[in-house]
Amino acid sequence: MAKYKLTQQELQEHWYDQVRFIQKSIKEFDSGDEKEAQRLATHLRIMFHDTQSSKSIFKQLKPQISFYSNSDLYTPSNLLASWTILNVMLESEGLRYLPKIEKSSRCFFLDFIDWWNEIIFDDHLNKFTRRDIVLYIANQDGGAHVDSQLNEAYARLTKMNSLGWMDSNGNAPINNPAYQAIRSIANEVLISINLSQNGLKNRRKQKDRKFEMRIVDKYGRRYKWSETEITCSSETMQIISKHRSEKRKLYIDEYNNGVKVEYVGQ
């Protein structure tokens, strides 16, 4: 029996369904139900994750979206663990991770591959991208499936405080950094979609600024780097030089609603 092929309009409806589901889950999450991160991860997986047997809605639709990266600068030589899309706050109950949803002093828009595979956690044992966190939660930690055994790297991050934060009494943070990261990622997605609908006016290359993505492993995990904008030690450069470089161009542009952005692209 022949399969029914969805029209572009039907695919678009599925896309907007996922956006609407994300908006609803964000409201529940922000009302105190952090387990909504499981639902958020599942919606994000449906929108963006490709497998050998299925294509994401994003790949099928091919929407013209530049992806908002609200990530702090990741430096691979940092002696402390890295958590680039989270904040940490001391509350009366103890230390708590919070999603980073306020705008950074400087942020960039990236192509999907760079955004999806950008490193957002490094506990010096393992590095995690947006893709990693979405799939661990959706596939193992209650999103679409519950595994009896979690991936060791993910378990260290979420169960064993591999980021190393402790309060003055030696207590680890009271909530799950991966769940908070999902909230940050969902916020980035909504901003990306909303701004992209406004349309860009005139992309202009910024002269004398060299940008690149540094690729750290065979899985394509990566981070932003600039020869002209980042000052670092010789020790840091020794580490960075081991990572494969892919050249990018740094542009500045403006949306029709007046929002100015910096865009890292091919």
Hey, how many other C-beta atoms are within 10 angstroms of the C-beta on 122?
23
Q: Is residue 175 part of a domain?
A: yes
Q: Is residue 120 part of a domain?
A: yes
pLDDT of residue 3: 85
pLDDT of residue 148: 67
Q: Is residue 1 part of a domain?
A: no
Q: Is residue 253 part of a domain?
A: yes
pLDDT of residue 147: 59
Domain enclosing residue 164, as ranges = 8-265
For the chain, how many structural domains are there in total? 1
Nearest to 68 by CA among 200, 265, 261: 261
Residue 154 class from Cβ within 10 Å (0-12 exposed, 13-18 middle, 19+ buried)?
Answer: buried
Nearest to 110 by CA among 231, 222, 236, 242: 222
Q: Is residue 201 part of a domain?
A: yes
Segment 74-129, tens digit of pLDDT? 999 998 999 999 999 999 889 999 999 998 878 899 999 999 999 999 999 999 99
Q: Is residue 2 part of a domain?
A: no
Low-confidence stretches of the chain (pLDDT < 70) are: 142-148
- Amino acid residing at 81: A
